[in-house]
Structure 1
Amino acid sequence: MNNIKNVFSIKDLENLTGIKAHTIRIWEKRYNVLEPMRTETNIRLYDIENLQKLLNITLLHKHGYKISNISKLPDNKIPQLVNEIISDKSVKNHAMSSFKMAMMNFDQVLFLSTYDKLLSEKSFREVFFEIFIPLIGEIGYLWQTNTISIAHEHFISYLIKQKLLINTEKLQVLTPTRHDKVFVLYLPDNEIHELGLMYLNYEIQLNGYKTIYLGESVPTESLKDVKKYFDNITYVCYMTVEPNPSVVNKYIKEIKKEVLDDDSNFWVIGRIVESIDTSLESENMTIFKSINDIVALL
Structure 2
Amino acid sequence: MNYSISDLEKLSGISVHNIRIWERRYGALKPSRTAGNTRFYDDEQLKRLLSITGLYHSGHKISRVCSLSNSDMSQLLQLDIDSTVAAQHRHEYFITQIINSCLVYNEKKLSELISSSFGQDGILNTYKFVIYPLLVRIGLLWLNGKVSPSQEHFLSQIIRQKLFAATDSCAVVDNTTKGWLLFLPEDEDHDIPLLLANYLLRAAGQRVIYLGPRVPLDTLHDAVSVTKPEFLLLFMTRMRLPAEAQTYLNSLSSQLKGVTIYLSGNLKIMHAVNLPENIKLLENPADFESIIKNKRTV
Q: TM-score, normalised by structure 2?
A: 0.65
Query: Is 1:290 the equivalent of 2:284?
Result: yes
The answer as to whether partners of 1:189 and 1:242 remain within 8 angstroms in 2 is no
Distance 2:103 2:162 in 1: 19
Q: Deviation of residue 177 (structure 1)?
A: 11
For 1:172-187, list aligned pairs within 5 A. Answer: 173-175=171-173, 179=177, 181-187=178-184
1:265 aligned to 260, 268, 282, which one? 260
The structure where helix makes up a greater share of residues is 2
Q: Deviation of residue 194 (structure 1)?
A: 0.7
Q: CA deviation digits over 1:73-127, x for unaligned, max 9?
A: xxxxxxxxxxxxxxxx521111111001011111112212322333443322332
Q: CA 1:206–1:143 in 2, change beyond 3 Å: closer, same or farther?
A: same
The answer as to whether partners of 2:91 and 2:130 remain within 8 angstroms in 1 is yes
Q: CA deviation digits over 1:186-232, x for unaligned, max 9?
A: 11012111111111111111222111111111111211111231224
Instruction: Indicate the percent of aligned positions where both proteins have the same amino acid.
Output: 21
For 1:149-168, list aligned pairs within 5 A. Answer: 149-168=148-167
Q: CA deviation digits over 1:32-82, x for unaligned, max 9?
A: xxxxxxxxxxxxxxxxxxxxxxxxxx99xx9xxxxxxxxxxxxxxxxxxxx
The answer as to whether partners of 2:237 and 2:266 remain within 8 angstroms in 1 is yes
Give structure 2 stretches of 5+ with no counterpart. 1-70, 293-298
Q: CA RMSD in A?
A: 3.0
Which has the larger Rg? Answer: 1
User: Partner amino acid for 2:130?
Assistant: I
The count of corresponding residues between Structure 1 and Structure 2 is 219
The answer as to whether partners of 1:268 and 1:286 remain within 8 angstroms in 2 is yes
Bigger relative contact order (CA 8 A; separation at least 6): 2
The answer as to whether partners of 2:241 and 2:269 remain within 8 angstroms in 1 is no
Distance 1:13 1:275 in 2: 25
Q: Deviation of residue 289 (structure 1)?
A: 1.7
Q: TM-score, normalised by structure 1?
A: 0.65
Larger displacement relative to structure 2 (240-249 or 152-161)? 240-249
Could you tell me which residue of structure 2 aligns to residue 169 of structure 1? Answer: 168
Distance 1:265 1:140 in 2: 32
Could you tell me which residue of structure 2 aligns to residue 230 of structure 1? Answer: 227
Could you tell me which residue of structure 2 aligns to residue 93 of structure 1? Answer: 92
Query: Is 1:215 the equivalent of 2:217?
Result: no
Give structure 1 stretches of 5+ with no counterpart. 1-8, 20-57, 63-88
The answer as to whether partners of 1:189 and 1:219 remain within 8 angstroms in 2 is yes
Q: CA 1:248–1:96 in 2, change beyond 3 Å: closer, same or farther?
A: same
